[in-house]
Amino acid sequence: MTDLIFTNAQIVLADEVIRGSVTIRDGRIASVDHGATAVPGAVDVAGDLLIPGLIELHTDNLERHLEPRPNVDWPHAAAILAHDGELASVGITTVFDALRVGSIHTGKGRYEKYARKVASEIFAMRQMGALRISHFVHLRAEICSETLVEEMEEFGPDDRVGIVSLMDHTPGQRQFRDISKLKQYVAKKRSMTDDEFDAHVSHLKSLQANNADLHEAEAVAHARRYGAVLASHDDTTAQHVAVSAAHGMGLAEFPTTFEAAEACHANGIQVMMGAPNLIRGGSHSGNVAAHELAEAGLLDIVSSDYVPSALMTSAFLLADLWDNLPRAIATVTANPARAANLTDRGRIAAGLHGDLVRVGRVQGTPVVRGVWSHGKQVG
């Protein structure tokens, strides 16, 4: 194959930015060199930044494409392709598609299983070469459900399950300590009356009381069977974090309080926060603001959560906040790669995948001008 060479670039490395050139050969980075090159055919980056492809550990974006309106089941192949293309367009070259396992078949707030079917469809499209970027699976194990165990049994070590997060959305705790916030979200989405919402809350609390211990133990066991990284979700107290640490979790998704984030760091657990929280200046659920954790040195990883383009924007906001571009870029590249045990990407270094993004800035806003996954241009 012909080498792909980028030159005249500001290359964001692990701890510095250099002016130089990057050569990709057979889909991997062959060399990183100081200075420009006059090799014919080299891509002149014209002084733009060259950063590693972004790595997304948690995104609800696929679900948005699968169900663009309540109770609208969009054709899955079209939804997966649209999701894949959207991520590629904003510089994401590796994604862990978040799929919920654990369903509720009774009550007004019921929701059905879908993870196994959608995961198989993603894998089939990947096998056919239809996808632009790298896809792994992130199983969101809902403790407060009826069918978690049987749904997790449908997955195995060959299913590219890289992350299993333990979620407990029981009202009155964690993300929804303030039940009024839950009511604003759920009652509007599902058109519930006050009585229906109260019945829904009672039902969820009974599910937790009956199933929580079994579901948590089974989710941890299945994650180990898959060889997946375990993540906590919405830790609120130091006690929540102590339980996470006892399970061997290395990643905390969206801790809701400063106390929990501090406890995570004390236990060697990386803290991930949502880019929308950072960009908006606060949590839509009334939880701790991501910028507060960033200012205190307690933010390690950023996730786009429900706005794919927010991932790139958040990295540059952090770069301005910290006055340190390499550190900021690491929150969306090297740090998530490390948390997910991906040793072949996340940095611009010889031997790693040729996942690169060309980025300029217009009035402070990052502008993606090119995206390459395994050395192939995808955006």
pLDDT at position 206 is: 66
pLDDT at position 180 is: 62
Alpha helix stretches (DSSP H) within 173-274? 179-190, 194-226, 238-246, 258-266
Domain residue extents for the chain: 4-377
pLDDT at position 262 is: 97
pLDDT at position 38 is: 82
- Residue ranges of the chain whose pLDDT lies below 70: 1, 105-111, 169-192, 196-207, 209
pLDDT at position 207 is: 67
pLDDT at position 71 is: 83
* Helix, strand, coil share of the chain (percent; to 5): 35, 25, 35
pLDDT at position 176 is: 60
For the chain, give the longest Cα–Cα distance. Answer: 72
pTM confidence score: 0.91
CA distance 153 to 341: 23
Residue 378: CB atoms within 10 Å: 19
- Give the CATH number of domain 4-377; options: 3.20.20.140, 3.50.50.60, 3.30.1490.190, 3.10.129.10: 3.20.20.140
pLDDT at position 177 is: 61
Element (H, E) at 127: helix 115-127
